[in-house]
Structure 1
């Protein structure tokens, strides 16, 4: 049975801690393996920081949604934002520069995400970016909570 938690945050780097804490709490509750958790944490940090830094040009305050879903065989991280259209999946790999020259910036974080997760997908739906990161792992069964 899947367990999903939605977290709304502002496009402010200080809000990244809210998403990190939510993932950590779910990892404890559902016994997400340590290696998978570490990979998810880095991938989530990269993806969320990219949204915060690059999605909006107006300098204003915006909100976006991060959904963390724990499945018996994987963890899905979904990011929904109304920023400018950007497909990270089709972004080129970081540029290599000749010896002694600096490479052009960009793409390294996305390349890292691609290496850390098992599925990296993107869709533009109704003017919103929907990015999905999935990590396959065996997740422990949480103690059932009684419904009152």
Structure 2
């Protein structure tokens, strides 16, 4: 692919707007998978991004709109190095980056409920950002397009 075609592809973006309902989770997953493949993410990176977006989406469905059915917009774009997914809702203001990390060393019955999924979401992507834009929560998830080289230890006898 020549550099002009690659630049055009990298500058493209698309979005999907859905009712915040678990019935739409399949459409969300399909949208993210399409972009992960377009960005040439590894299967592991694709799966990690999918899990992170799913966690955010399910939290919006469960908590953002307690009294009505709201909307969620997911916008994806890529640049030379990353796939950027923005998830936007007009629900209750909520910054997931302000949720304290769960105490993983606590015994299960002593552990405070909640926050584990958000903690894992942050570990599954390379960067997470949050903004309150007017009446909207906007969460940005960034996944690197670069392949990570794993080093293996060699055992010398």
Residues 135/100 of structure 1: CA separation in 2 closer, same or farther (3 Å cut): closer
CA-atom RMSD, angstroms?
Answer: 1.9
Residues 98/107 of structure 1: CA separation in 2 closer, same or farther (3 Å cut): closer
Structure holding more helix per residue: 2
Tell me how far apart the structure 2 counterparts of residues 43 and 129 of structure 1 sit (CA, whole Å).
16
Higher mean displacement: 123-132 or 25-34:
25-34
Q: What residue is the counterpart of 2:138 in the other structure?
A: 130
User: What runs of 5+ residues in structure 1 fail to find an aligned partner?
Assistant: 140-148
Question: Given the alignment, which residue of 40, 47, 59 partners 1:50?
Answer: 59
Residues 33/86 of structure 1: CA separation in 2 closer, same or farther (3 Å cut): same
Q: What residue is the counterpart of 1:22 in the other structure?
A: 31
Q: What residue is the counterpart of 1:11 in the other structure?
A: 20
TM-score (norm 2): 0.80
Structure with the larger RCO, 1 or 2 (CA within 8 Å, 6+ apart): 1
Deviation at 1:14, TM superposition (A): 1.2
| Deviations 1:13-46 (CA, angstroms, capped at 9, x unpaired) | 1101111101222233342221211110110110
Larger radius of gyration: 2
Higher mean displacement: 106-115 or 63-72:
63-72
Deviation at 1:138, TM superposition (A): 3.1
Report the number of matched residues: 138
TM-score (norm 1): 0.84
Residues 117/100 of structure 1: CA separation in 2 closer, same or farther (3 Å cut): closer
Task: Indicate conservation of the 8 Å contact 2:75/2:85, yes or no.
Answer: yes
